[in-house]
Structure 1
Amino acid sequence: MLKLVPDGASVEANTGPSTRLISRCRVFWVGTAHGVTPDFIALDNTSRSIHDVEAYARQLHPHAAYAVVGAAYGYVLLGRR
C-alpha cells in the first residue's frame, strides 16, 4: 500500500508507516506538520483507536480534504484531494 506514495511526497505518519517512508519521502510525525499540508497521511490503526480516519484527517488539517486511498491489515493511507 505504501508503494502508492511517490518518492519525494510529504507524508504525515505514525510509527509503523514512517519507518518505511523516511528514506524516500518528507515525513512528519502525526500532529506536528504545523504549517504544512502533507500529500498523504499514513496511519497504523491496528489498535482501531481511530474510528473515522477521514474525520481524524480533518481534525489534523481542517482546510484540506483527504480520502482513503488504501487500507490493509489495520494500516490506512489517505491522499489529499
Structure 2
Amino acid sequence: NLVKLSLTEKEKVQFTKDLNSILNYMDTMNEINTDNIKPLTHVLPLKNRFRHDIDDNSNDRDQLLSNAPSQINGSFQVPKTVV
C-alpha cells in the first residue's frame, strides 16, 4: 500500500514533482487529436501463422509401433501410472 510508505520531506517534494510531471505529460497526450487514427491493440499486426490441418495419412501404424518397446492390441503399452 502506498499509504504505508514512509517518506522524508525531501522525498515527498521530489515525488510530488515527479508525479506532477507524469500527470502533465498525460494531459499533453490527451490533447492529441486521434480522430483519424484507427484504434490498435498491438503494435504489430497479429496473424495466425499456423498451417492448415490436412490429413496426409503419413502415420503408418505398423511403422510407428515398430518403435514401441512394448505393444498390445495395436497400441503402445506403457507402465501403469495410476493405482
Same fold (TM > 0.5)? no
Comparing both structures, which one devotes a greater share of its residues to helix? 2
**Relative contact order higher in (CA < 8 Å, ≥ 6 apart):** 1
TM-score (norm 1): 0.15
Q: Which has the higher strand share?
A: 1
Whichever of the two has the greater Rg, that structure is 2
